[in-house]
Amino acid sequence: MVNMFALFLGITTLATGVIWCVDRFNIFNSKKGSSKASGQIGWWLETVASFFPVLSIVFIVRSFLYEPFQIPSGSMMPTLLIGDFILVDKFSYGIKNPITQTKLISTGYPQRGDVAVFKYPKDPSLDYIKRIIGLPGDKIVYNPYNKMLTVTPNGATVQGGAGVALPIIYTHIEPSSFIQIFSSSDKNSFYKVTQGENKQGGLRLDIRRETIGNVTHEILLVDKAQSQASAYYQQPGQQQASWIVPQGQYFMMGDNRDNSYDSRYWGFVSERNLVGKAVAIWMSLDKQEDQWLARIRLGRIGAIH
């Protein structure tokens, strides 16, 4: 899997670096035994060379440290809203070759509860963001009726697949501050509306807290949503809505549970596809999908949990 943007950025940085060296060390002029003259290297070469320091910093930071992303949909609400601009820690899960995504140095491993960006397995040109629910070897069961999870660590290695389930704590379901307006297309709108108020054609979403291990986060639910279990990914040898995570792969779910196209529908994410851990919101615009003019939500800037 080749990261085409990283490849383009790398080639551009290398090319400007070569030109920078030619300009910096006066290679052409030194061969002629003359002093440097702007007309000999050309003003355009000097201009191109001036981009090298900036491009090299961008390449290093984006490839190995932090990469910015924008949240385009509501699948991770209420943790992340449409219009949030986030920073993704690239070294949380290992330093990788930015072009081939091959791991070079191991610096850490994904944990349950992490909010992670990854390449969508069915189309690696697309970046997805979800919460890590299942680690390699875990047995995951999702009840589409009460919308609760069961996670059994190392469930695949226990005889009969019946191990000790991880304690998962749920709070009572309550009305949230979000209203969803459904449309005939896949692009639904979400609005934050005060309790007691409504929006024409909208449905108020429910909210509850979910605690997996030592990670607590809020999830949204659509009370009237019908079970979509028939559309779930059917893993060979497993019952419907039940999965055992293969080695080297992860099970992902969105926090907006009834509005998330995730591992329940298309399967697992390979470690190779992981981009990094989402750690902070650095800017947020109050907008809907495909909308650009919007006010800034200063109150959302900060760490991601």
Which amino acid is residue 231, in one-letter code? A
Asked whether the beta carbons of 87 and 282 are under 8 A apart, the reply is yes
> Pick the catalytic residue: 75, 176, 263, 284?
75
Using CA atoms, how far apart are residues 223 and 100, in angstroms rounded to an integer? 43
Instruction: Enumerate the β-bridge partners of residue 142.
Output: 149
pLDDT-flagged residues of the chain (< 70): 1-3, 26-42, 155-162, 184-186
Q: What pLDDT shows up at residue 37?
A: 46
Q: Tens of pLDDT along 183-241?
A: 766 677 898 988 888 888 889 999 999 999 889 999 999 987 777 889 999 999 999 99
Q: Tell me, what DSSP letter sits at residue 64?
A: I
103 is catalytic: no
State the angle between helix axes of 4-24 and 52-60 in degrees (0 to 180), rounded to the nearest 10. Answer: 140
Give, for 244, the enclosing helix (H) or strand (E): strand 242-244
All structural domains of the chain with their residue ranges: 4-50, 65-303
What per-residue confidence (pLDDT) applies to 33?
45
pLDDT at 182: 83
pLDDT of residue 78: 97
d(CA 209, CA 165): 19
CATH code for the structural domain at 65-303:
2.10.109.10
pTM: 0.84
Residue 122: active-site member: no
Q: Are 2 and 102 in contact (CB under 8 A)?
A: no
DSSP class of residue 256 equals: B
**Per-residue pLDDT at 41:** 52
User: Whole-angstrom Cα distance, residue 303 to residue 305?
Assistant: 7
Q: What is the pLDDT of residues 95-116, one digit of tens each?
A: 887 777 788 888 889 999 999 9
Beta carbons of 188 and 259 less than 8 angstroms apart: yes
Helices (H), the chain: 4-24, 27-32, 38-41, 43-49, 52-60, 263-266
pLDDT at 284: 93
The pLDDT score that the predictor gives to residue 36 is 47
pLDDT at 252: 98
Q: Can you list the positions of beta strands (E) in 49-114?
A: 66-70, 84-89, 95-96, 103-105
A 10 A CB-CB count for 244 gives: 21
pLDDT at 245: 97
Q: Of the residues 90, 96, 130, 277, which is catalytic?
A: 130
